[in-house]
Amino acid sequence: MKVYFIGAGPGDVELMTIKGHKRLHSCSNVMYAGSLINPEILAALPESTQVHDTSKLNLEQQVDIYKEARTAEQDVARLQSGDLSIYGAIAEQMRALDNLSIQYEVIPGVSSVAASAATLNCELTLPEISQTVILSRISGRTQVPPDEDLEKLASHKCTLCLFLSIHKIKDVVKKLSVHYPAETPVIVVYKASWKDEKIIRGNIETIADMVEAEGIRLTALILVGKVLDTKDFDDSRLYSKEYSHLFRKKNVSK
């Protein structure tokens, strides 16, 4: 018996990996984390699959499902939105499985940050503009350690992607405006890759009112930084004629 943690992707059912899809369909038990999982993924499962919505269960109740599956010698697929390496609350699941000596495997997924950059046709790192992306959030029920307060992170003025923060957009821009100039582009992507995806383009000064006017309070990513609207950057060294590397000799092209 094994538990498979599977990244379900950002929403679009075609954005799950082939490996994740195969494992999901081979498991008799499926646990999924509430509203961020596209219902189409669940609807395509065989009728015999036992499906559990973990948003209604506490950790102990979830552990009971693992125990029952072990007794029945059945594998469990645990679907999480996007990729599992960020904001998935799976570390505590893994700890519980370690305590039960139950084996598990993680199958990565397409994060909403990748899906948002894709829908914007945007690269989050550009030569000379920003070579760093910070993934973070504003404090909520889960507190952010004081050294990672948004205002401190903003001092780097690099590209920022904020999860779980859209309902506090006013507080977000207040903290960011201490360091980012008012005209710094801010884009909110609501439900990236879903059919009802929305993109709201503004800047540090304007975005909070725009988001409030749209009534968006959930399932959105806040992207911040100059990379979002500039064409004024140098070409990368990677394809430069003057630059040679292991796979290409200098000045090979005529």
Site residues (CB under 6 A) for ligand SAH?
10-11, 36, 81-83, 86-88, 111-112, 115-116, 163-164, 189, 191-194, 219-221
Q: By C-beta, is 208 or 220 nearer to ligand SAH? A: 220
How would you class 85 by CB atoms within 10 Å of its CB: exposed for 0-12, middle for 13-18, buried for 19 or more? Answer: middle
Q: By C-beta, is 10 or 225 nearer to ligand SAH? A: 10
For the bound state, the minimum distance from the C-beta of residue 249 to ligand SAH, rounded and expressed in Å, comes to: 39
Q: Closest by alpha carbon to 200, among 216, 177, 184, 218?
A: 216
For the bound state, the minimum distance from the C-beta of residue 187 to ligand SAH, rounded and expressed in Å, comes to: 11
- CA neighbours within 13 Å on the CB side: how many for 174? 6
For the bound state, the minimum distance from the C-beta of residue 152 to ligand SAH, rounded and expressed in Å, comes to: 20
Q: By C-beta, is 69 or 112 nearer to ligand SAH? A: 112
Residues 24, 28, 29, 30: what is their CA dihedral angle, to the nearest 10 degrees?
20
Q: Closest by alpha carbon to 222, among 175, 185, 188?
A: 188
Give the neighbor-by-neighbor strand order of the sheet with 220-224.
133-137, 159-163, 220-224, 185-190, 198-203
Comparing every residue's Cβ against ligand SAH, the nearest one is 82
For the bound state, the minimum distance from the C-beta of residue 137 to ligand SAH, rounded and expressed in Å, comes to: 8
Q: By C-beta, is 69 or 164 nearer to ligand SAH? A: 164
